[in-house]
Amino acid sequence: MPDNSWLESIRTSILTQTGTWLVAFIIAILGLFSSRIIESIRVALNRADLRIKQYEELASDISQYIFVAEYNTEMIENNWTSRQTIIDMVKEYNESITSLRKKEFIYLSWIQKYWSKKEILQYEAFMNSVKDFDSALHLLNKEINAVIITKTKIKIDRKDADKALIVIKPAVQNVRTRGRKLLAVIL
């Protein structure tokens, strides 16, 4: 009977060496790609951090705008439209809409980069509602000018305010609804 121990030792040696070479090969491959893996993880973490910071800035501007839009609507509804009140309202409103509109395309680029098509559509719907509210509020420009600039009126005419509120109230509600939907979707 032939001696199988010699064949068995060769087979064991080949298996051991193959295992050693395989482990060394895997370690070498991981070593080659570890910097890419680490870089991918770092980029993903930075992206998540930027996304959070950008969400907070967007949410802050949206919240500020909605607050001011609702505040202006309330002031007009309650006929709190004396000269100084209107000056303050106009100033605050112009600051909030300017802040939001100046960054409109920056915010759009962030949403395109970090979120999906659904969020882009929500953002565009929100911005359209902002523009609609702005147009509705401008229905009172003649009255506001009469109180602030020409000083021919003490307050906005109640009848004109009521006519404008027919458009303003649904517009402000639309801004609020679309703003909430947008912020809930991109969080």
What does the pLDDT read at residue 45? 65
Compute the distance between CA of residue 167 and CA of residue 75 in angstroms, rounded to an integer.
15
State the sign of the Cα–Cα–Cα–Cα dihedral 49, 51, 57, 63: negative
Q: 52-186 adopts what CATH topology? A: de novo design (two linked rop proteins) (1.20.1440)
What does the pLDDT read at residue 1? 52
The pTM of the full predicted model, rounded to 2 decimals, is 0.76
Q: pLDDT tens-digit profile of 143-158? A: 999 999 999 999 999 9
Closest CA to 70 of 143, 163, 149, 165: 165
Instruction: Tell me the domain boundaries of the chain.
Output: 52-186
Compute the distance between CA of residue 131 and CA of residue 137 in angstroms, rounded to an integer.
10
